Amino acid sequence: MASAKKIVCLGAGYVGGPTMAVMALNNPDSQFYVTDQNAARIAAWNSAKLPIFEPGLDAIVEKIRDKNLFFRVINPTLLAEADVVFVCVGTPTKDYGEGKGMAADLQYTELAVRDIEKHCKSGTIIVEKSTVPVKTAEAILQIVNAQAGGKRFEVLSNPEFLAEGTAIQDLMNPDRVLIGHAETNAGVAAAETLKAFYTAWVKSERVLLTNVWSSELSKLVANAFLAQRVSSINSISALCEKTNASVREISRAIGHDSRIGPKFIEASVGFGGSCFKKDILNLVYICRQQGLTEVADYWQAVIDMNDYQMRRFVAQIIEMQFNSVAGKKIAILGFAFKPDTNDTRESPAIYVCKRLIEEKAQLFIHDPQALGNAKKDLAGIDSGVTYTLDIDAATEGAHALVILTQWKDYAALDYAKIFQRMQKPAFIFDGRAIVDAEALHTIGFNVAQIGVRAMRN
């Protein structure tokens, strides 16, 4: 299989699309097919406006689309001709049955794998790219190699370590590429085939080969460690707001410790995205399944702290506005869970907006990329919500501004001008600590910023 030339990706989402685009860019002699059952999503990938926003992705797709990168509705013929199949389907947290609310839902993975077994030729390499529990590769092997047809497949674990907003940069210059394989000659050979695609642009020493279990668990542990850092600094932000300490100064101080470093220690309203919460809950579930109650409780506390951070942020919004936001216009600045993406999965903005809607606030939501997804997230409860790309319309006559995404544009707004157009007293609640609180207080705002004592006029 060293001459693998046709690669099919099942799933045209945040992982499959960018990963195949970068791989195709750097392997021009192979053909890459990004597939999905959703015809509308495939049509979007073939249009001028891609279904996901990721800096740098548009340029790559435009350069190689329909040359060696193709977007197609999945069909048996594509699978029959595939040398390698990447499984990039969704693995959401289960909302039913055993493990509800914690375990990964693998029904879509299993359906994809059964299609692979049915239509692919023997010897096709299956690459699990989705975030999955430990032993998933083993389960896939049992499914595909236990059928009556006598076909045999190799299954590799190749977890993604992408951060939305920097996914293309992460793919082009990864810290590491992890490939887990069966500890057999055939498993090693399959891993070497996949490695060859990556070493077309990644230094060989950064492509790490390991056993499948270690590879699968590494993804969960990496996200758990990163989320733990966020929850740790957020716990300190609550203490800072009760004292005269500044969480920003504390982050700067501990970030200079070479043992800690500056990444993922910026306090905020909470972490979001498709991975952190889901992966930690998955880790908690695995630990409970293995009887490791104390370990499970430890990681559950990371999620609990994140939930606490969001709850207390909303409570402060209500309390500072005289314990009522009913009928008040609240400008929500940002809905995506982070800048440079239109992804709103698990965004703190969802919780914050739902709570404010429950309190009968009139929300004006602004986000440069994520309004489409915001409408989906709040569908059915958004009769009092206005979605707008006009920052003036969002802030005109508002009682309060609530910053929920650290888009650079929000730090550079003319807040003196905005203050003049707002209802008085005017409030700003900075859930991302991106504005100069003292300067806004001088303008006349009542300012509540994560990790510093609130400033009232």
The DSSP string of 323-376 is T--TT-EEEEE--SSSSS----TT-HHHHHHHHHHHTT-EEEEE-SS-HHHHHH
Q: Which of 74, 108, 115, 114 is nearest to 91 (CA)?
A: 108
Residue 55 has pLDDT above 90, yes or no: yes
Same domain, 165 and 279: no
Flag whether 191 is in a domain. yes
Category of 99 on φ-ψ map: left (φ > 0), alpha (ψ -120 to 50) or beta = left
Q: Which two tokens stand for residue 417?
A: 């001008």
Parent domain of 171 = 6-202
Q: What is the tally of structural domains in the chain?
A: 2
Residue whose pair of structure tokens reads 């392997």 in the numeric block: 27
Is residue 275 annotated as part of the catalytic site, yes or no? yes
Same domain, 118 and 258: no
Same domain, 193 and 157: yes
Same domain, 227 and 308: yes
Q: Which of 120, 275, 287, 353 is catalytic?
A: 275
Same domain, 180 and 135: yes
Q: Which of 379, 427, 422 is nearest to 403 (CA)?
A: 427
Flag whether 58 is in a domain. yes
Say which range, 144-158, 251-265, 419-433, has the weakest mean pLDDT: 144-158
Same domain, 429 and 342: yes
Confidence label for 133 from pLDDT (cuts 50, 70 and 90): low
DSSP E strand boundaries for 54-162: 69-73, 84-87, 125-128, 154-157
Same domain, 250 and 127: no
Instruction: Give the pLDDT score at 3.
Output: 63
Q: Percent of the chain having pLDDT more than 70?
A: 95
Flag whether 212 is in a domain. no
Same domain, 191 and 231: no
The domain spanning residue 453 has which CATH number? 3.40.50.720
CA–CA dist 169, 173 (Å, integer): 6
Flag whether 217 is in a domain. no
Q: Which two tokens stand for residue 440?
A: 């806004």
**425-435 pLDDT, tens per residue?**
999 999 999 99
Domain limit, last residue, from 169, 202, 235:
202
445 close to 402: Cβ distance less than 8 angstroms = no
Once rounded to an integer, what is the mean pLDDT over residues 261-277? 89
Domain limit, last residue, from 144, 173, 202:
202
CA angle 416, 420, 422 (to 5 degrees): 115
448 CB contacts (<8 Å, ≥6 apart)? 316, 317, 320, 427, 428, 429, 430, 454, 455
Flag whether 166 is in a domain. yes
Same domain, 198 and 231: no
Flag whether 48 is in a domain. yes
Domain limit, last residue, from 154, 169, 202:
202
Flag whether 216 is in a domain. no
Flag whether 164 is in a domain. yes
SS3 447: strand
Residue 1 has pLDDT above 50, yes or no: no
Same domain, 99 and 144: yes
Exposure b/e, 247-279, CB count within 10 A at least 16 = b: bbebbeebbeeeeeeeebbbbbbbbbbbbbbbb
Pick 299 or 128 by higher pLDDT. Answer: 299
Q: Which two tokens stand for residue 156?
A: 């590799």
The mean predicted confidence, pLDDT, of the chain is 91
DSSP 8-state class, residue 206? G
**Confidence (pTM):** 0.80
Residue 218 has pLDDT above 90, yes or no: no
Q: Can you give the length of the chain in residues?
A: 457
Same domain, 197 and 228: no
**335-356 pLDDT, tens per residue?**
999 999 999 999 999 999 999 9
Same domain, 53 and 126: yes
